Amino acid sequence: MLKKKEKYNVAVVGATGAVGNEMLTILEEREFPVDTLRLFASERSEGKVLHFKGKEIAVETLKEDSFNGVDIALFSAGAERSKIWAPIAVRSGCVVIDNSSQWRMDPEVPLVVPEVNAYDLKWHKGIIANPNCSTIQMVVVLKPIHDVAKIKRVVVTTFQSVSGTGKRAMDELLQQTVDLLNFRDIKIQVYPHQIAFNVLPHIDKFLDNGYTKEEMKMVNETKKIMGDYSIKVTATTVRVPVFRGHSESVNIETERKITADEVREILKKAPGVVVIDNPEKNEYPLPIYASGKDEVFVGRIREDESIEKGINMWIVADNLRKGAALNAIQIAEELIKML
Ligand code: NAP
Ligand code: 3JN
């Protein structure tokens, strides 16, 4: 298990991907106390050189003994890899912070957003799960409201950027946009339909209940992180032709009446939240401004006039940072603070 040290041996699994790349940037930016850094990806990337703090590090493929001597492993190489390699890493003595959905709903695994439930880190058994990006940015805003007014029901519609799908999807949006503007035929490879100049009400696979997996992740993960299974959640997740930054229209119904002004005051004091809510100046959160930032931005806060105790909000965050890499590194920071 993790022992207190001045610096830690860190591994990033999926280091060549969209999330992995962001992890390297954030480890460096936040001066995480890294002793050695090992980078892993698929066979396609073996030997590829990545940069960290001015040093070149060659990418390796995973082997049974890859995690020997590693203290903290940050996984972002997909659920299948996490399923196989996270237990191997734990057996080698390291703590795994996993970005995939593989372990999120496992009752033995804490699902953590530090601003909301850092206390759940106390009972980890080696694996800690990082929630889905759309869930993370929503719960950072919901928790302080829940503490004051108890949320009974959440209705959320997301507007998710293509970076949520990874590097290939970002390339596809760019290529389709360039091709369409040049009157050329387009290639459709990543999504079931053209994504440029389009909106797809479909993220991840469809399930038997008519929802997508992404929608059910938001439903189930929200309850686990908030530690309240009585909250009702329904979600519609939508892919939009935006490169980076997920936006969400969120409607809540509370047990206690709370005004829009009260919500603004609560959120102004909430950790990791920035309120941008000046409609008279056309000021509200936008993905182009949230991109590259660490905070979760919230605006368009208003009372839902169709019910007695309801609030509408617009929530935006950088999905690769707070939605994935940053949250994982904040978990690592909390863990070492606890030692
Ligand atoms: P990506 O850009 O496609 O990157 C995938 C990464 O996984 C690459 O580094 C890839 O290496 C590596 N990989 C693939 N097969 C591997 C193997 N057999 N062994 C080791 N590494 C392998 O995807 P991404 O957007 O970064 O997302 C990666 C994963 O993070 C997702 O699948 C998801 O589970 C998780 N994720 C979570 C959130 C969240 O909401 N918290 C958001 C986005 C993603 P190569 O470059 O060599 O192919
Ligand atoms: O599509 C998005 O905006 C977020 C995608 C997240 C994602 C993509 C592929 C696999 C996940 C996730 O984190 O839930 C997974 C997965 O691990 O299931």
3-class SS at 146? helix
Question: What backbone phi and psi angles, to 5 degrees, belong to 116?
Answer: -105, -50
Average pLDDT, the chain: 98
Q: Which of 94, 124, 133, 146 is an active site residue? A: 133
Told to judge if 246 belongs to the known catalytic residues of this protein, a careful annotator would answer yes
Q: Whose CA is nearest to atom 5 of ligand 2?
A: 164
Q: Quick one: pLDDT band at residue 308, thresholds 50, 70, 90?
A: very high
pLDDT of residue 71: 98
First to last CA, the chain: 11
**From the CA of 165, how far away is ligand 2's center (Å)?**
7
- Mean pLDDT for the stretch of residues 263-269: 98
Say yes or no to pLDDT of 187 above 90: yes
Cα 204 to middle of ligand 2, angstroms: 8
Catalytic option among 94, 124, 146, 246: 246
Percent of the chain clearing pLDDT 90 (strictly above): 99
Pocket of ligand 1 (CB under 6 A): 13-20, 40-42, 44-45, 62, 76-79, 81, 99-100, 130, 132-133, 164, 166-167, 323-324
For ligand 2, the distance from its centroid to the CA atom of residue 278, given in whole angstroms, is 33
pLDDT in tens, 136-180: 999 999 999 999 999 999 999 999 999 999 999 999 999 999 999
**How do residues 66-91 score in pLDDT, each as one tens digit?**
999 999 999 999 999 999 999 999 99
Is 283 a residue whose pLDDT tops 90? Answer: yes
Identify which of 214, 221, 225 to mutate to test ligand 2's pocket (most ligand atoms within 8 A of the CB).
Answer: 214
Mutate-to-test residue for ligand 1 from 40, 63, 99, highest number of ligand atoms within 8 A of CB: 99
Work out which ligand 2 atom sits closest to the CA atom of 161: 3
What domains lie within the chain, and their CATH numbers? 8-130+324-337 (3.40.50.720), 135-319 (3.30.360.10)
- Which pLDDT belongs to residue 111? 98
Q: If DSSP codes are grouped into helix, strand and coil, which group holds residue 314? A: strand
Length of the chain, in residues: 339
Q: Work out the burial of residue 262: count CB atoms within 10 Å of its CB; fewer than 13 is exposed, 13-18 middle, 19 or more buried.
A: middle
Q: What is the pLDDT of residue 1?
A: 82
**How far, in Å, from the CA of 40 to the mean position of ligand 2?**
19
Q: What angle do CA 167, 169, 171 make, to 5 degrees?
A: 70
Query: What's the pLDDT score for residue 280?
Result: 98
When pLDDT is cut at 50, 70 and 90, the band that residue 324 belongs to is: very high
> Contact 22/323 with Cβ under 8 angstroms?
no
**Per-residue confidence (pLDDT) for residue 178, from 0 to 100:** 98
Contacts of 320 (CB under 8 A, 6+ apart): 18, 19, 22, 133, 163, 244
> Token pair of 74, please?
């940050």
94 catalytically annotated: no
CA–CA gap between residue 4 and residue 216 (Å, rounded) = 37
Q: Which atom of ligand 2 is found nearest the CA of 165?
A: 1
pTM for this prediction? 0.98
Q: Which ligand is nearest to the CA of 103?
A: 2
The pLDDT, as a whole number, for residue 165 is 97
Residue 224 has pLDDT above 90, yes or no: yes
Give the position, in ligand 2's atom list, of the atom nearest the Cα of 100. Answer: 17
Question: By percentage, how much of the chain surpasses pLDDT 70?
Answer: 100
Mean pLDDT within 42-55: 98
